[in-house]
Amino acid sequence: MTGFCSLEGKVALVTGGSRGIGRAIALELARAGADVVVGYRSGTEEAEDVAKEAGGRAVQADVSDPEQAKALVEQAGDLDIVVNNAGLTRDGLLARMPDADWRDVIETNLSSVFYTSRAAVRGMMKKRAGSIVNVSSIVGVHGNWGQTNYGASKAGIIGFTKSLARELGSRNVRANVVAPGYVNTRLTDVLPEEAQQAMLSNTPLGRLGEPEDIAGAVRFLCSDEAAFITGEVLLVDGGLGM
């Protein structure tokens, strides 16, 4: 596989890769020529299916645990690309939000990015090459009702990535953010019809995104065509965040 945004010869780790956006990213990076490692916490069968389709392998790990994140990176091998995509929601109004719902979302969505990136950067710095792409959300930029925990975790990813980009730039390692708008996945399937309609009416392109829309943006940021882009937040949201 050659041509624009080729990832031929590169090794890529995608966390949260068993379904939804993560699945689409893993398959897109594989199409670009990368050797893909699918990281997942649950859904072994789904993860194995993605890995088989991508011609790669699946490795189970809970990346909200620092030791498991480190072990995942070690098993993945000599990484050129890390895509931190693992995430979950525990929506609810702040006044009634249990501590556990706050902690679970922060640990899974934000701490996992820290643990996985920390484990991966040393090798990238040594070879003076690498690309980290962290998946945030439009909610991390603009906020959303009932998602203080999720919004905080996704905004935290942006601040983390910008700081990381400054730290790694002198070693030619890049760090960027893709911030999806509302995408047609299991997370949006559960939203009430009126909430979905409100989203669509505020989105200039007039549709939900598809996981493949996000995957294409990630592929670009991972590639040498984006060699002079770091610390950037790319909204892939149909214009919602304008």
* Cα atoms in the 13 Å half-sphere on the side-chain side of 67: 0
Cβ atoms < 10 Å from Cβ of 199: 19
Q: Give the Cα separation of 23 and 71 in Å (integer).
A: 21
Among residues 40, 115, 150, 182, the one annotated as catalytic is 150
Which residue matches tokens 């990015």? 113
Per the annotation, the verdict on 150 as an active-site residue is yes
- Please give the structure tokens belonging to residue 187: 């997370």
Pair 233, 241: CB distance under 8 Å? no
Pair 108, 86: CB distance under 8 Å? yes
The Cα-based distances of 228 to 107, 169, 173 in angstroms read: 31, 10, 10
DSSP track, 188-199: HHTS-HHHHHHH
177: enclosing H helix or E strand? strand 173-180
Active-site amino acid positions: 150
